[in-house]
Amino acid sequence: MVKIIPRWEWRTFAEDFGEAESNIKKNKVTRVKESEEIYIISDKSNDNTKIRDEKMDIKTPLRINTEKNLEQWTVMMKADFPIHINDLVLVFKAFGMPLPYFKKDEYSYKEYLEDIIKSNPNLHSIDVSKKRFGYMIDECMVEIAEVKFNNVAKRTVAVEHANPELVIKTVKKLGLDGFENINYIKAIKNTFGYQY
């Protein structure tokens, strides 16, 4: 088992990040990654539940520090398709919903979306495309990303590290501290009018 170290995350969404974006871009890009993902938005939960690289991926907030405007997230599960009902127990816990009756022991990728997600009025599948530009700044992972939520264009910046003090210090240094901390789930729910 690989030890998962929960990270503190600060993220925001805006059309223009002003001087902060210039400050970030003074540094060298360390990685560029594009992905197509499906976020499963639940009316009953704010856990980050998505399908990425053909795996069901769940992240949950461990702690929310309102004083420092930070959230600590950890990976709860990455499950391959076909997905087994044992894994669906964790999935529906993340959805904040009771377990439905399953007709089968496992579901293919297509069956999962059609038979389980789309048939549930409290679940919403959102196509999310991302083009992420990564930087290492003062030991923190910093990212600028161009994203689309069902073809609605968005821009996001994030700062992450296991040490919350480093995150706050880097956010302030870059000039991002005037922006609101908005995670992906909140941004998607705000975009489509779902209750966060």
Question: For 36-49, how does the pLDDT look when each residue is reduced to its tens digit (9 = 90+)?
Answer: 999 999 999 999 99
Q: What residues contact 92, with CB distance under 8 A and at least 6 apart?
A: 98, 99, 100
Across the chain, where does the E strand assignment appear? 7-13, 31-42, 48-52, 55-65, 70-80, 83-84, 106-107, 123-137, 140-149, 152-161
- Give the pLDDT band (50/70/90) at residue 196: confident
Domain boundaries, the chain: 7-192
Tens of pLDDT, residue by residue over 175-191, are 999 999 999 999 999 99
CA–CA separation, 18 vs 24, rounded Å? Answer: 11
- At 66-88, the pLDDT tens digits run 777 899 999 999 999 999 999 99
pTM of the model: 0.94
Question: What is residue 3's predicted lDDT score, i.e. its pLDDT?
Answer: 66
pLDDT of 139 reads 96
pLDDT given for residue 69 in this prediction = 83
Which of these, 27, 17, 50, 20, lies nearest to 123 by C-alpha position?
50
The answer to whether 164 touches 68, Cβ cutoff 8 Å, is yes
pLDDT value at 1 more than 60:
no
| Per-residue pLDDT band at 2 (split at 50, 70, 90) | low
Q: Give the residues across from 9 on adjacent strands.
A: 71, 160
Q: What is the CATH number of domain 7-192?
A: 2.40.320.10
